[in-house]
Structures are given as C-alpha cells and as structure tokens.
Amino acid sequence: MPKTETTFTNPSGHALSTTVTVTNIVTGKTRQAVIPCTYMNGPQIHSYLNGRPVDLAFPLLTAMEKHFISTGLTGAEQLAGQRAPYVFDDIRFDIVDK
C-alpha cells in the first residue's frame, strides 16, 4: 500500500461535510474529496487519526472509499491496478486533483 499523508478539514464533525486531502508520497499526487457527515463523523476521524484501521474507523464508507483514504487512488485507478477489494463498490463523492 502506498504511503500517504492524509488531512481532514473539520475533523470535529460540526459541519455538513469533511474535506479529506490525501497526498500519495509515491506518485506525488494530491487529491481532495468532500465527504458528507452522514458517511464520516468527528469521533470516527479522531479514532482513525489515533491509529484505528480505516476499515474499523469508517464503517459507513465503501471499500473503495476507504481505499481512497488509505492510498489516494481514485476508483478508476483502483480498478485499473486491480487494487479494488470489491468490484461492485462505488465512490459516492467527487475526488479532485489538487
């Protein structure tokens, strides 16, 4: 799994969404996604930042969404690289290059 730097804007969860910025150290690409609070909340973000695995920290995210947070790869890149855990998952929010 590629090394990443991940930041969360609004980690307290007191807004309608959280902006996640992921920089993949290997590719040098930085991507950003705005994730609605219905999928990710403050306590979940804090548990992830304190070392809880992404699969346990964010139970409402799909496998591809969790993989984006872990690697910074888009759904298309995950499928092309056969890194996607589940082919039928989808990413329910937009990912943009920064």
Domain residues for 84?
Answer: 4-97
List the beta bridge partners of residue 31.
Answer: 22, 97
pTM beyond 0.75, yes or no: yes
Q: Report helix, strand or coil for 70.
A: helix
Torsion of CA 8, 11, 16, 18, to 10 degrees: 10
Q: What is the pLDDT of residues 72-81, one digit of tens each?
A: 888 777 777 6
CA proximity to 34, closest of 68, 76, 1: 68
**What mean pLDDT comes out for the span 7-14?**
74
Domain total in the chain: 1
Provide mean pLDDT across the span 53-61. Answer: 95
Alpha-carbon distance 58 to 14, whole Å? 17
pLDDT tens sequence across 13-51:
567 889 999 998 888 889 999 999 889 988 999 999 999
